[in-house]
Structure 1
């Protein structure tokens, strides 16, 4: 047999591990989080107890849309580079929505021109 040995094959990754991990974190609905952040304090509801969420759903980072097990973990999260980057992103202009994407692709509402007078 010629060529390479079969036991020396190396499987090539499609994405680097860091890129995949970061992409998975940033995929969340930015437009929904942005809308929630722009609500006045009076419209926001208190967090209900939920047994399925970490920390019974009481320790929540609104900017990152993540729940934490306890206060110390959440406070440590507030000091991370990821959270600070997310704060900066959410303080900027409104993220794009699906409607924006449809309009940019020319798939918005049809423009049939002005309506003509009927006789």
Structure 2
């Protein structure tokens, strides 16, 4: 039997677009931050980093993780909007008009949000 490359599923975490949708949905975010006690998860499921989608054994381990380079890099990457299917199609030259309409709606919604804050 030749060498078979195994994917490292032990350290596999959720993709950025999945975490981005979790963070932007208040109900899901609230559920992830206050989970019920679960004996099958590390630390009984009480110490969870939403940005990295990882469980920790203790509060101290989670605190050390939040100060680390990997967590900070992940948070920085989550600040960017994930690539959508419309952007991929527009890059390929398909559905450019639909993408332009999407961008206009997005800019108008951001403009409306900034006016509401003032």
Q: TM-score range by the shorter chain?
A: 0.5 to 0.7
- Backbone CA RMSD of aligned residues: 3.4
The one-character-per-residue Cα deviations of 1:2-55 (angstroms, maximum 9, x if unpaired) are xxxxxxxxxxxx9xxxxx98xx86763211100111123796222121111100
2:41 corresponding residue in structure 1: 53
Q: Could you tell me the TM-score, scaled by structure 1's length? A: 0.56
- Shift in Å, 1:76: 0.4
Alignment of 1:14-25 (within 5 A): none
**Equivalence for 2:64:** 76
Structure index of larger Rg: 1
Cα pair distance change 1:106/1:54, threshold 3 Å = farther
Give the equivalent residue in structure 1 for 2:83: 96
2:25 aligned residue = 39
User: Normalising by structure 2, what TM-score?
Assistant: 0.57
User: Structure 1 or 2: larger helix share?
Assistant: 2
- CA contact 2:47–2:56 (8 Å) conserved in 1: yes
| Cα separation, 1, equivalents of 2:70 and 2:29 | 27
CA drift of 1:102 comes to 6.9
Q: 1:42 to 1:55 in 2, by over 3 A?
A: closer
